[in-house]
């Protein structure tokens, strides 16, 4: 963060981040609402395809020149495809807030492993306690398959962070690797979307909603994060991003009418507390782990 950034600018950046989380989870909620129209795989295909199109138009990335670079973006694209697919398959079966809460465990566990500090295991324990509270008290309350998909999404998020870091080392411009990886993810997800949705996927209303989901869940969050990180230290930025499960709970209630039990609320608080603690006690040389724009 530049030393001359004023307190007012930092507060404004913090408000932008909170607004970004609301917009991003709103995009996910809209995606859930249009599942009946084009199906889960249709929504995935539309979101990833439009995200790739926006990134390619904005970034105008140079083609990879080495075989190793193609290997990196191929792996990166596969991770993005798996992450999006597993997230939406989970959101189709369990509440949005529960999906996001379980997904957050991916970067949380990664931060614990990479921190190599005893206190990091406290945050891991809090996160696990939250998930046990979400599901363990009533084994029949949540769809086991939905929980499994959310767990895959969590692992994919951790893999996304590592793949994104490797892409950043390979490509001098930060958007180049992401743009090509998103294009590969689109190629991987489009066949299933077209096969399940058929001609409905190209109806103007569905194309418009798919574009809206892509803009809300990818384009706006990435732009906001770029602005915020110029004004905020990574630690407060990471703390704000850790609020995602709580914000997803609010968005799920307002848009999807998904109410929470007291146990759900306590579980979300535990996971948020674990994420905040991991950010605040992480080694200063490591950046905060942010919400992926994929």
Contact 113, 253 (CB under 8 A): no
- State residue 5's pLDDT score: 55
- State residue 221's pLDDT score: 78
Q: How confident is the model at residue 294 (pLDDT cuts 50, 70, 90)?
A: very low
d(CA 118, CA 292): 27
d(CA 282, CA 57): 36
156 to 82, 93, 107, 254: CA distances (angstroms) = 7, 18, 9, 28
Domain locations along the chain: 7-280
- State residue 145's pLDDT score: 92
34 to 213, 215, 281: CA distances (angstroms) = 10, 16, 40
d(CA 126, CA 124): 5
Q: Is the pLDDT of residue 237 over 70?
A: no
- When pLDDT is averaged across residues 263-286 and rounded to a whole number, the result is 74
Q: For the whole prediction, is pTM greater than 0.75?
A: yes
Give the pLDDT confidence of 269-278 residue by residue, as tens digits.
888 888 777 7
């Amino acid at each position: 963060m530049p030393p001359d950034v004023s307190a007012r600018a930092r507060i404004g950046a913090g408000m932008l981040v909170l607004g970004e989380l609301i917009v991003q989870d709103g995009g996910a909620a809209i995606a859930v609402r249009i599942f009946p129209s084009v199906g889960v795989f249709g929504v995935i295909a539309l979101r990833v395809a439009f995200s790739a199109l926006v990134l390619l138009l904005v970034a105008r990335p140079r083609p990879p020149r080495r075989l190793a670079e193609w290997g990196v973006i191929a792996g990166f694209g596969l991770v993005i495809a798996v992450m999006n697919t597993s997230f939406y398959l989970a959101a189709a079966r369990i509440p949005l807030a529960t999906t996001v809460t379980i997904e957050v465990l991916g970067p949380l566990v990664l931060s614990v492993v990479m921190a190599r500090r005893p206190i990091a295991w406290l945050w891991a324990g809090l996160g696990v306690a939250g998930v046990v509270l979400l599901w363990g008290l009533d084994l029949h309350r949540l769809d086991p398959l939905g929980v499994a998909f959310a767990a895959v999404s969590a692992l994919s998020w951790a893999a996304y962070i590592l793949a994104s870091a490797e892409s950043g080392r390979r490509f001098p411009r930060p958007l180049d690797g992401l743009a090509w990886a998103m294009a590969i993810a689109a190629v991987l997800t489009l066949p299933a979307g077209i096969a399940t949705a058929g001609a409905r996927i190209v109806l103007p209303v569905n194309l418009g909603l798919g574009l809206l989901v892509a803009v809300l869940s990818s384009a706006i969050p990435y732009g906001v994060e770029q602005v915020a990180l110029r004004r905020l230290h990574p630690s407060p930025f990471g703390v704000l991003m850790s609020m995602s499960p709580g914000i997803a709970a609010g968005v799920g209630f307002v848009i999807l009418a998904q109410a929470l039990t007291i146990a759900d609320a306590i579980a979300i608080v535990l996971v948020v507390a674990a994420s905040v603690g991991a950010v605040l006690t992480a080694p200063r040389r490591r950046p905060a782990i942010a919400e992926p724009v994929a």
